[in-house]
Structure 1
Amino acid sequence: MDVLKFGGTSVGSASTIKQVVEILNDSNNPKIVVLSAMSGVTNLLVGLHQAAIIQDKDGMEKIMGALTEKHHQAIDELFIDAAKDDVLQAINEYLETIYTVAQAPLQPTSYAELVTYGETLLTRIFSEYLTQQNQPNVLLDSKTFMHVGTVENPDVDQVSQLLKKQIEQHPECSLFISQGFVCLDENGALSTLKRGGSDFSATIIGAAIDAEAVQIWTDIDGLHNNDPRYVEETRPIEHLTYNEAAELAYFGAKVLHPQTVAPVIDRDIPVWLKNTFEPHAPGTKISNEHHNRGLKAISAKDGITAIKIRSNRMLGAHGFLKTIFEIFDRHETSIDMITTSEVAISLTIDDDKNLEAIVTEISVIAAVSVEQDHSIICIVGENLIADHESYKAFGLLNNLPVRMISYGGSKNNISLLVPSKDKIAALQYLNTQLFKLQGVMA
């Protein structure tokens, strides 16, 4: 059995939904299809929650109108006769429930309840459309099996037990539809896998059923060797190892959720990144297979804050770093990059909500300076440390405004910190120069 996930742009209209159905028909393998909400819908639902907080009635009605129009238009273009009436009735009932939740006094679970309705709406429409096309399918409610516990360490065994039991109840069916993004937390409360988490849903499900493969379908043909939004003539990468893909996703590759590959690594389930609008393009395969060593890709992560800590207490002393790490741990703030000298520590974080409190604590024992609006540029390849060509990359740094370098913590990653205003120029420069070193122009 395969798992196929389709993102919001892949199911953003009636025409793209029809394209997805054609892709499903290309293979006779049993499959679970994991769907995001239609493009733009989750943003509308987030806006609805924000309007509900301040009881902006006009804003809520405007958003409900947009939600209704978007889904009604898709239904009008997909369905005919009695089937259309039945689907409209079901979707209207969902929409009424959404509005009721928004109007009622908000509860701790109201946010998750509202923002996850986009997937519920779309999967109902999609399943009914398949039925109209004489394609038997079973619509699974992810709330009944995506009991992941903690998002950071999902309980795949629990998901497996619950999901397999449901699949076994339908031995005649080879096509299952379910929602991405939606889950239950360790307390059994409705929650989400965070924005973009449908990729993560797909690989959790893939691991849970020991899938042959997980396919993630988006609007781009695989993971590119640089960010095509800023760099011309990028090219898709045919093969990546799990570690390479994880590094690129964490450091900003938008086509893949950062936690996507984690559930499938130990089970050696390949992940394919494919383009819904060019379904026969090769895409990118992520697996344990090792192909070309050396440089593979460059990505960038924005919203980085650099913190420099200086204290003469560090000189010849031990335990100072431990004290600093404990401060960040108390404030639940992860560190991305770190370099040290005899009397100074430079580090970066991507979550600054507790920055003021962190700086206040550190200031008691050291001098602290903060620089915001930075980006981490990540250069990724297989075993870069052993690839002597990668050392030539350091010769290029004189032409870049680099504030920090991290090299050696991972065999697959060289990380550079630059001011965000210089990010695009740095990506373009490195793209040309690094791939020239390999003899391959991107």
Structure 2
Amino acid sequence: MFHTVEKIGGTSMSRYNEVLSNIWLRPQSIAGQEETLYQRIFVVSAYAGMTNGLLEHKSTGEPGVYALYAEMDERRPWQSKLDQVLDAMLQMNADMFNNDVQRKRADQFISGRVNDVRDCLENLEAVCSFGNFQLDDHLLQVREMLSAIGEAHSAYNSVQLLRQHDVNAVYIDLTNWRSDTQLSLDDTIKEAFKDVDLRHQLPIVTGYTQCREGLMRTFDRGYSEMTFSKIATITHAKEAVIHKEYHLSTADPRIVGVANVLPIGQTNYDVADQLANLGMEAIHPRAAAGLRKKDILLRVKNTFEPEHGGTEIRNDYHTDEPKVEIIAGTRGVWALEVFDQDMVGNATYGQRMNDLVFESGVRVLTKDINANTVTFYLKGNKRRVNWLIDRLKQVYTDADIRLEKLSMVSAIGSDLKIPGLLRRAAGALSDAGVNILSVHQAMRQVDMMFLVSEADYTKAVNALHTLLVEKSDIWQQQASA
């Protein structure tokens, strides 16, 4: 018997009635077999906004419970923030359940989790008031514990909702809550599914997995995608499916307009890797790597257009004709430039620099290097970037170090071997009044990156999409087919 493993994003989860009708209560035929509601495993994200409140806002950086707790402010603002998050969770329960018994059960579940966290954080504060214990040593565990609440809330509620509709849903809690054992990621998943019968049970799984490796340490907020990928590979899924609030399209419809984008019918894991490198929410690069190695087809679907087949991402896809498949990018890129005359001819100069970048925890999108200058293009919060700069100044005392905040815009495709593409793309940006600060194109020719100012991001995305997609003969033929 074949099965799928499917992940539902936070924005989709918040529209739970549509998820219910479009996904959970919609029978599926897997690999040509008889249609069924079962033979599927669902990994769910927290409802939209919950993780932002628990940690920090992903886009604006507004502090959540974790960020406020880490500041060690004696006024303890984290407590009121935790109250706000709990209120939002209870309001979600009220909106979701008309049945008083189910609502009471859901309220008791999440209130118990939040109260556990509150007690734990207060006790940790007391312990760390003694000089023998430092709060910084425990912040990663605090971040993991807070993350787990959001996914536990949505998974538990989803099970109650499905049972209300006579679906035999089972709650799979990978958060390891109040457990005295800690297994590896693989063993945690194997243990959780050892008694699950996919023919008659519909598992709803928390997106966060508490395990020996510590998912937050490596993947931070990409942990749910890693859980999703691991479950797919360990259970030998036929397909891995990601349900999002929009199609995987030629660009962000919020930037270039819904009428101007087209869904990408097929692409390969090379393209998925480039998107992941930019932080786009298709799938985390390490999660994609696991699926790629096991040759599991990844499908990205629009939650609100269930009839559409979505985008297939597979190992063996290669476009019939070279073309740009997607214009993507990211704001808030830190360009960290290190200039040092002593670098010239010194083959070992950058070794310690690379180590420090790794230790800082920031993510490297790409980097430039010439005779006397190295520029890293980084994604990460300002605190980590400042930590990196301080360490670089200690090691490279004669270097001039400069930091600038930019945006990156990229043209991506499974085959970009198009004569004159770089010239045309650069010309489109120039015609739109966008100044190119740096450009990157590797010989593999699956992506082309342009570094531009923060203010020019939207303008750059629109300019590249208009020329390379909307005016492309290949895409126009596909749209009219």
> What TM-score results when the alignment is normalised by the length of structure 1?
0.84
Amino acid of the structure 1 residue aligned with 2:89: L
**Aligned counterpart, 1:151:** none
| Aligned equivalent of 1:11, options 10, 13, 18 | 13
Q: Distance in 2 between matches of 1:179 and 1:278?
A: 24
Amino acid of the structure 1 residue aligned with 2:302: N
Quickly say closer, same or farther: Cα 1:310–1:60, change in 2 above 3 A: closer
User: Per-residue displacement from partner, 1:246-266 (whole Å, max 9, x unpaired)?
Assistant: 101221434444444122011
2:210 counterpart SS class? strand
Q: Distance in 2 between matches of 1:24 and 1:106?
A: 46
Check if 1:96 corresponds to 2:112: yes
Instruction: Note the 1:139-158 alignment, pairs <5 A.
Output: 139-143=171-175, 157-158=186-187
Amino acid of the structure 2 residue aligned with 1:290: Y
Check if 1:404 corresponds to 2:424: no
Deviation at 1:101, TM superposition (A): 2.5
Q: Distance in 1 between matches of 2:343 and 2:217?
A: 43
Amino acid of the structure 1 residue aligned with 2:246: I
Check if 1:274 corresponds to 2:301: yes
Instruction: Note the 1:355-434 alignment, pairs <5 A.
Output: 355-361=388-394, 363-371=396-404, 373-384=405-416, 386-388=417-419, 390-393=421-424, 395-396=426-427, 398-399=430-431, 400-408=434-442, 410-434=444-468
Cα contact 1:23–1:279 (8 A) shared by 2: no
Instruction: Note the 1:15-414 alignment, pairs <5 A.
Output: 15-20=17-22, 22-27=24-29, 28=36, 30-46=39-55, 47-49=64-66, 54-56=75-77, 58-76=80-98, 79=99, 84-86=100-102, 88-104=104-120, 105=122, 107=124, 108=138, 109-143=141-175, 157-158=186-187, 161-167=190-196, 170=197, 173-186=200-213, 194-221=220-247, 223-232=248-257, 233-292=260-319, 293-351=322-380, 352-361=385-394, 363-371=396-404, 373-384=405-416, 386-388=417-419, 390-393=421-424, 395-396=426-427, 398-399=430-431, 400-408=434-442, 410-414=444-448
Q: Distance in 1 between matches of 2:372 and 2:54?
A: 49
Cα contact 1:3–1:206 (8 A) shared by 2: yes
Quickly say closer, same or farther: Cα 1:69–1:330, change in 2 above 3 A: closer
Cα contact 1:10–1:20 (8 A) shared by 2: no
Q: Distance in 2 between matches of 1:402 and 1:91?
A: 53
Quickly say closer, same or farther: Cα 1:91–1:192, change in 2 above 3 A: farther
Amino acid of the structure 2 residue aligned with 1:38: Y
**Greater shift in the superposed pair: 204-213 or 108-117:** 108-117
User: Per-residue displacement from partner, 1:3-60 (whole Å, max 9, x unpaired)?
Assistant: 1211222221552343255554344251111111222232343434566664345554
Q: Distance in 1 between matches of 2:17 and 2:91?
A: 16
1:335 counterpart SS class? strand
User: Per-residue displacement from partner, 1:170-197 (whole Å, max 9, x unpaired)?
Assistant: 476342221113332327x998953353
2:211 counterpart SS class? strand
Q: Distance in 2 between matches of 1:139 and 1:217?
A: 19
Q: Distance in 2 between matches of 1:326 and 1:14?
A: 44
**Greater shift in the superposed pair: 273-282 or 155-164:** 155-164
1:291 counterpart SS class? coil
Identity of aligned residues (%): 21
Q: Distance in 2 between matches of 1:331 and 1:194?
A: 14
Quickly say closer, same or farther: Cα 1:62–1:320, change in 2 above 3 A: closer
Q: Distance in 1 between matches of 2:458 and 2:165?
A: 46
Deviation at 1:210, TM superposition (A): 1.0
Cα contact 1:404–1:417 (8 A) shared by 2: yes
User: Per-residue displacement from partner, 1:62-87 (whole Å, max 9, x unpaired)?
Assistant: 443332122122112xx4xxxx4155
Deviation at 1:204, TM superposition (A): 1.6
> What TM-score results when the alignment is normalised by the length of structure 2?
0.78
Quickly say closer, same or farther: Cα 1:334–1:144, change in 2 above 3 A: closer
Cα contact 1:48–1:102 (8 A) shared by 2: no
Q: Distance in 2 between matches of 1:394 and 1:90?
A: 53
- Structure 1 segments unaligned to the other structure (5+ residues): 148-153
Amino acid of the structure 1 residue aligned with 2:373: A
2:221 counterpart SS class? coil
Amino acid of the structure 2 residue aligned with 1:421: A
Amino acid of the structure 2 residue aligned with 1:281: H
Quickly say closer, same or farther: Cα 1:7–1:307, change in 2 above 3 A: closer
Give the RMSD, CA atoms, in angstroms: 3.2
Quickly say closer, same or farther: Cα 1:391–1:404, change in 2 above 3 A: closer
Quickly say closer, same or farther: Cα 1:194–1:366, change in 2 above 3 A: closer
Amino acid of the structure 2 residue aligned with 1:390: L
Amino acid of the structure 2 residue aligned with 1:18: L
